[in-house]
Structure 1
Amino acid sequence: MASERKLQDGELVTIDFGTIFEGYCSDITRTFHVGNVTDPKLLEIEEVLREAQKRGVEAVRPGITTLEVDKVCRDYITEKGYGKYFVHSTGHGLGIDVHELPNVSAIPRWSRELKPGMIITIEPGIYIAGLGGIRVEDDVLVTENGHEVLSRLPNN
């Protein structure tokens, strides 16, 4: 959570930002190291989260449902022992508004089939009270044959 607390050496800081270009929104989140992060638990959750996010992006293609994309990320995070710390959706639609349908969520009634031309975010997160958290978010276009990551900022 944002606060007045000063950042300390060895922490992770998560920044969520975007812009509007010709009426369309972007939404990007990156997590950065402050100084030298040496806490093995922070480094472990960072590794797990980055792999989950990568798998979620790779799953995006026409015909897959948003529920299935969420499941790819959620199952990996759960398999690694951090499922209870993934407390939000995997992503959302992106367009004229920064948060649009479809929701990339574990809630079955919100599930939609992805179609070419849709843009969604893939942004799983792991947040552990008293330790820290990490989220990485990319904007992903569903193409005729798969996907294209629209975010151009490195995420590692």
Structure 2
Amino acid sequence: MAGEPGPITDTPVLELDLGQLRTVLLDSGQPTLTFSEVVDATSVELHVEIKDPGAVATLAELVLSRPADAAGIRFTSFQTEALSLRRQHALSVPRGLIVSRYADTQQHEGGLDGILEAVGASTFYSGFEGLTSQEVERLHQAGYEVHVWPLRSLSDVEQAVS
């Protein structure tokens, strides 16, 4: 989250240049980082959620220019368009589909299996609602990773592992 409210933090990010973004301190007191700086600063796998399909080509170019780091990055999105574009621009970078509720997958032609295949996702992120342990097992057997969210409490964690 961005720190103190002010003229820049109240301005939509698309209207700011990199110099202006650098002046915004996060709640941690640290400045806003570029994606390259984030990748440089970590050795853990990064799950990068794509919010705007328009950013896919530029982000793919950046990731593919760093092949040693690409293996540690997984792109995720609620937007199938963003994941499809990601598949076109960076086939080797793993993708994950995010849905709020398991039932949301039925809105897609071919249901969950159809959409996971269409976007080339290897991971499925779903809210708890409607997701059964039998479906998780089926997806695991089909070779998909499955993650549930949110995990905000001990009862959420207990539900996730049961």
Q: Which TM-score applies when normalising by structure 1?
A: 0.27
Q: Which has the larger strand fraction?
A: 1
Query: What TM-score do the two structures reach when normalised by structure 2?
Result: 0.27
Larger relative contact order (Cα-Cα within 8 Å, sequence gap ≥ 6): 1
Flag the structure with higher helix content: 2
